[in-house]
Structure 1
Amino acid sequence: MALDTLPTLRWGIVGTGMISSWFVSDLSLERQGKKAEHIIQAIGSSSTEKGRGFVEKHLKGKAPTVYGSYQDLYEDANVDILYIGTPHAFHKQNCLDAIRAGKHVLCEKAFALNSREAQQIFDEAKRQGVFVMEAMWTRFFPLVQQLRRVIHHDKVIGDIDRVFCDFAMPMNIKSLPPSSRLRNAALGAGSLLDIGIYSVTWAILALEAEPGQETPTILGTQRLHDGVDVATSVILSYPDGKQGLATCSTFTKTPSSFCRIEGSQGTVTVDGFAASAPAFFTVHAKDQEPQRYDFERPGKGFYWEADAVALDIAAGRMENELMPWSETLRIMRLMDDIRRQGGAKFPQDDEYC
């Protein structure tokens, strides 16, 4: 595809925290093989001063419009799509406001606090006719796509039996102020929505050849501190006997090999800094030398999901094939179930969870 035929998206950024800084830095990279042009058109922050500081630190040499309120950003006619990088508890309202302003939306994971909120967002997107996707960026890594081909299509380790995945990162939650998004339940705090969603996703991607065609039963347990889950363990069980163990913790750091996939003819291990950012995987097939698959990844890798969004919008689609609305809802329902069993509850759940 020639450069002048690439679709172009003008992005508005909602929120100026760490995840937003990673996103804009990645979209600003010069890279080969890109499938879209991305322009950081505007920044929305809680104050103009904070927004300007974000631009100065992460977007040097660029001059996006800076707004001291999100509503002003929603109303900017020069913005095509909004990337929402605010804490979980704000996602629903941010998405609804953006959608009602006629904007497409890419919203960070976890997409909402519970499946009820997620459904409300998708219902509004359908009414307004705009594109919406959960920003589960890891699903769009070439590594993940190749891994799924290797284990599900090529069946290099035979039939998949079990998967283990862990995402642990020391957060010292007990020492944080009650207002911290990592400790305040009203802000969606807890290990499950923050990092456990990756472990659950890896288990599903490894166990299901076609995600969404079957849904596992869940057995979940959580360790709570002031009502917030600081560690979660989940067993996913399928009718044919396959099982996955997905865990997360705020007390330690997962070793490099964060995922192990076991099959009838061998195993696959996946390595990286964390489950959100895999670097390589290794196939250990029976009676064969281990084969390692490495992948080039400039920056952190947010541009792959952004490219996919641009191609979908250019084609007039409202949702993405790799991360459709149905899959977001399914994962949210699984996490609702995990929290029901484990005891973590958000004030916004009311009687739902």
Structure 2
Amino acid sequence: MADMPTVRWGIVATGKISGWFVEDILRRDWPQRSASHIVQAVGASSLGKSQKFAEEFITARNNSDVQPELYGSYKEVYKNDDVDCVYIGTPHSFHKQNCLDAIAAGKNVLCEKPFTMNAKEAEEVFAAAKAKGVYIMEAVWTRFFPTVKALQKMLHEEKKLGKIYRMWCDFGLDIDIPSLPDDSRYKDPALGAGSLLDIGIYSITWGLLTLSENVGDAADDPEVASTQTLSHGVDTDSSVLLKYPSTGRQGICTSSTNFDSSGAFARIEGSEGHIEVFGGKAASPQMFVFHPKDGRKEERHEFEKPGRGFYWEADAVAHDLKAGEKESETVPHAETMRMMRIMDGVRKRGGARFPVDDW
């Protein structure tokens, strides 16, 4: 434990996603951890919210002697000299400003997905981080799961699937959009509502990581076609088709708030068989099964996952910070920009426009 890197986190926002993140990084039953995590500060829109959050997610789980500073604002988290990295768990319509405020204070940042509302906002945030010399990463936690790492190794290094032909991934939720209040994050375009940015980003992520052997600047941009169905100005269904001209590989990436998906959420097909991926949802893979084409016995690959699995990305951030890195190899800035451009294009074609868009 003494050799592990330690990160003192400042938590911005006290919603569900922040609670999940804190629960995971403070777990005591995870012997495979490779970093130590301390919740140094918590900021919310009121002091009462921070206090309630600490009681529910920190007090009973804290494995350090540090008791977090609790604030009724985000600004006080940014100003805390003992905070090494700020975790931003606000709704994505606030990500740009939260990131810029943290960066201005000289803080490293782990910002939840989607990184921003559009590519233009993402460019502004990355430029600010570069100018300030701080680390920043989009929290695409799924990419850090051992399930995903093992699958990528099988596909792109061991080539066990042979020539990859195509993939499919779906993420569906059952949400009655018309019945929600107009200011719901699922219904209000100003809050980035719609299936695409909320859950479709995971389906597209699976397309990118299974069809492309590279990431970031080293990866090719796929050709993209798409369609959307809108309700109240936001997409309830999005279907995105990816194609890599150099290999001919294709991906079908879908999302919906009309129907709850279950079972295998992804399938990858190749010349030597196919792979099915299982988990609660596409965000949180639990296992995958390789079905060889020649009739050999299937191979099941399942990985231990206490809690939800946020500790893998948190550990990765800790090691990056210790090494003095300014971005992640797993989710580099260029990969976030690729995703934002893809989603911008889907929305332009489908008509799901946000007030912050300039098109």
Query: Normalising by the residue count of structure 1, what TM-score does the alignment of the two structures yield?
Result: 0.97
Q: Do residues 188 (structure 1) and 187 (structure 2) align?
A: no
Among 228, 234, 259, the residue aligned to 2:266: 259
Cα distance in 2 for residues equivalent to 1:285 and 1:172? 40
Cα distance in 2 for residues equivalent to 1:261 and 1:211? 18
Give deviations 1:44-88, integer Å, cap 9, x for gaps. Answer: 000001111111111123531111011111101111110000001
- Look up the equivalent residue of 1:250 and give its one-letter code: T
Q: Aligned residue for 1:198? A: 202
Give deviations 1:222-247, integer Å, cap 9, x for gaps. Answer: 11111111110011111132110000
Give deviations 1:295-332, integer Å, cap 9, x for gaps. Answer: 00111000000000010011100001010001000110
Q: Secondary structure at the match of 1:296?
A: coil
Among 91, 97, 100, the residue aligned to 1:93: 97
- The 8 Å contact of residues 215 and 330 in structure 2, kept in 1 or not, is answered as no
Q: Do residues 103 (structure 1) and 102 (structure 2) align?
A: no
Pairs within 5 Å for 1:127-276 = 127-212=131-216, 213-239=219-245, 240-276=247-283
Q: Aligned residue for 1:301? A: 309
Q: Aligned residue for 1:283? A: 290
Q: Secondary structure at the match of 2:280?
A: strand
- The 8 Å contact of residues 43 and 77 in structure 2, kept in 1 or not, is answered as yes
Report the Cα offset of residue 253 of structure 1: 1.4
Cα distance in 1 for residues equivalent to 2:35 and 2:339? 28
Structure 1 window deviating more from structure 2 (91-100 vs 240-249): it is 240-249
- The unaligned stretches of length 5 or more in structure 2 are none
Give deviations 1:107-138, integer Å, cap 9, x for gaps. Answer: 00000000110010110000110000000000
Q: Do residues 64 (structure 1) and 64 (structure 2) align?
A: no
Report the Cα offset of residue 151 of structure 1: 1.3
- The 8 Å contact of residues 119 and 341 in structure 2, kept in 1 or not, is answered as yes
- Look up the equivalent residue of 1:252 and give its one-letter code: F
Q: Aligned residue for 1:5? A: 3
Give deviations 1:6-34, integer Å, cap 9, x for gaps. Answer: 11110011111100000000011021121
- The unaligned stretches of length 5 or more in structure 1 are none
Report the Cα offset of residue 350 of structure 1: 2.4
Over the aligned positions, Cα root-mean-square deviation in angstroms equals 0.9
Q: Aligned residue for 1:19? A: 17
Cα distance in 1 for residues equivalent to 2:113 and 2:175? 18
Cα distance in 2 for residues equivalent to 1:9 and 1:153? 32
Q: Do residues 292 (structure 1) and 291 (structure 2) align?
A: no
Cα distance in 2 for residues equivalent to 1:100 and 1:35? 29
- Look up the equivalent residue of 1:11 and give its one-letter code: W
Cα distance in 2 for residues equivalent to 1:296 and 1:33? 10
- The 8 Å contact of residues 11 and 87 in structure 2, kept in 1 or not, is answered as yes
- The 8 Å contact of residues 171 and 254 in structure 2, kept in 1 or not, is answered as yes
- Look up the equivalent residue of 1:206 and give its one-letter code: T
Q: Aligned residue for 1:346? A: 354
Residue correspondences, number: 349
